[in-house]
Amino acid sequence: MAGTAKGGRLAASQNKKKYGSDFYSRIGKMGGQRGTTGGFAAGEEGRKRASQYGAVGGSKSRRRS
């Protein structure tokens, strides 16, 4: 059952039983606190860059309205 949606749900429930119901929020918090780069859109220049690249990607989208 490994690698299936059902297996993932069973693994998640087992982790929550074993380590507490807040297991995933705790490990996510640890990862966020250890980050040092600030992410793609960090700072003023980064926000401009993210906006520009988002517009480029949006204009190339294959989805129709």
Q: Tens-digit pLDDT profile for the chain (65 aa)?
A: 778 999 999 999 999 999 999 999 999 999 888 877 777 777 778 888 888 888 888 888 777 65
Confirm whether 63 is domain-assigned: no
Q: Is the pTM of this model over 0.85?
A: no
pLDDT of residue 50: 86
Contacts 24+ apart (CB under 8 A), 48-51: none
Which tokens sit at 53? 């690249």
State the DSSP string of the chain.
-TTSHHHHHHHHHHHHHHH-TTHHHHHHHHHHHH--S--TT-HHHHHHHHHHHHHHHHHT-----
Domain count, the chain: 1
pLDDT of residue 39: 73
pLDDT of residue 28: 92
Which tokens sit at 2? 């490994």
Confirm whether 19 is domain-assigned: yes
Confirm whether 40 is domain-assigned: no
Confirm whether 39 is domain-assigned: no
Q: Which domain holds residue 2?
A: 1-34
